[in-house]
Amino acid sequence: MARKSKKPGPQVSGPGIKGIRGGRFKAGPADVMREINASIDFDRHLHAQDIAGSKAHAAMLAKTGIISQEDGDAIIKGLDSIAEEIESGDFEFSQALEDIHMNVESRLGDLIGAAAGRLHTARSRNDQVATDLRLWVRDALDRLDAEIQGLQAALIGRAEEHAADVMPGLTHLQGAQPVTLGHHLLAYVEMLGRDRSRAQDCRRRLNECPLGSAALAGTSFPIDREKTASALGFDKPMANSMDGVSDRDFALEYLGLAAILAVHLSRLAEEIVLWCSGPFSYARMPDAFSTGSSMMPQKRNPDAAELVRAKAGGVIGALGALLVVMKGLPLAYGKDLQEDKVPVFETAETLSLSLAVMAGMVSGMEFDTGRMKADAGGGFSTATDLADWLVRELDMPFRDAHRVTGRLVGLAEEKGLSLDGLSLNDMQSVEKGITEAVFGVLGVDNSVTSRDSFGGTAPERVRQAVSAARKRFLT
């Protein structure tokens, strides 16, 4: 970005390098010190939040008489001009000015002169950056909620479409019991619902304002912290100034919920990879989310799902990185906290991309429901239905029914048959009480239809769950 200004750089009225270092130092920083100390390359992402916080602070200073109304108005007008410059790309960010705060304040000095120096009255970069990051994370959480909802909508739509289509339900990646595809997809809707709930909880807890905490001890100026908190949409000011400038638990909580969300996305991505593989062949990815091979012309790779799966590692790592930054910090502020932003910014970008890609894949996938149904009956998946029938119809204790069913599975395996391929005589050779009625529970369609308990896989239950999910998550 380049600031299209005839002025060559910070003017005397702005803080400049001398303003940052004050009168304490006789020489400027070493080049490598300037490089490691500067954060403008990444904290420029906070420009909107920084300007909003400065405007609220200036308005409060003027309202309380700490600065004149004339200076307050000039500061706010200048900040609005800077916001326009940044949004249009006409702003020159300077590494020499270290961070977004000093870049904005220096440019403010260019625009309005000495009045710019009054903006930093009764605040520190410590409470300023804590406020900026809370505002940024709050905005990120609001975006995240809408992005998760978009994926939920895609899953709910496909679940309704496939409410009665049978597929294998697996445990240990082995055939367990038949389920419906709609039921399977709705499981992820519920996981994502809890992810949204965690995001909403995080937003509620972080919505307290650090501004006015100053460097760590508060300020002797008669500021109105309630006014600035309200102006910025916070519920209230933070109660302890040292806590206000030094903790980043809100960022940790954001990264924590992000890591759980990324794991949920990775699990769904892994299933998509499996479903699109030759041994499964349950799904076909749309062309828009598939890639080919540079060598093998027949290949159709689910790379989008694989990348979502891989990106979970970065999100999990971001949480670990910030936890390590925080774990050894005494009160109050340490420059270590400069390292809180990159993990947060990168995580938000990764989640936004992953959710959009996942919603596209889910919406566009084609399912081979015939293949799914054929596989659903494999691995003696209706054995539990048989055991349940023995309990219901013969009043057999479940452990006895479990043993009888196990013997019947063994018999079917010896004969190379499915359970419903055994004759009545075969079954009665193991348990004389079995009648012809047992065959009514052994087909996969009968199996899923019988699972009509609340939260179960029966098609009618799935349709009810789809309707309920739309009300809970999409309205």
Tokens of 323: 């936890």
Q: Rounded CA gap, 191 and 380, in Å?
A: 29
Contact 119, 97 (CB under 8 A): no
293 as an active site residue: the answer is: yes
Side-chain half-sphere of 305: how many Cα atoms within 13 Å? Answer: 24
Q: DSSP for 163-175?
A: TT-EEEEEETTEE
Catalytic residue of the set 68, 277, 293, 467: 293
172 as an active site residue: the answer is: yes
Query: Which amino acid, residue 52?
Result: A
Structure letter (DSSP) for residue 335: G
Dihedral sign (CA 349, 149, 282, 382):
positive
Q: Rounded CA gap, 17 and 12, in Å?
A: 10
Tokens 């419906």 belong to residue: 180
Tokens of 475: 């309205």
Contact 237, 226 (CB under 8 A): yes
Catalytic residue of the set 172, 220, 294, 453: 172
Contact 452, 411 (CB under 8 A): no
Residues forming the active site: 172, 293
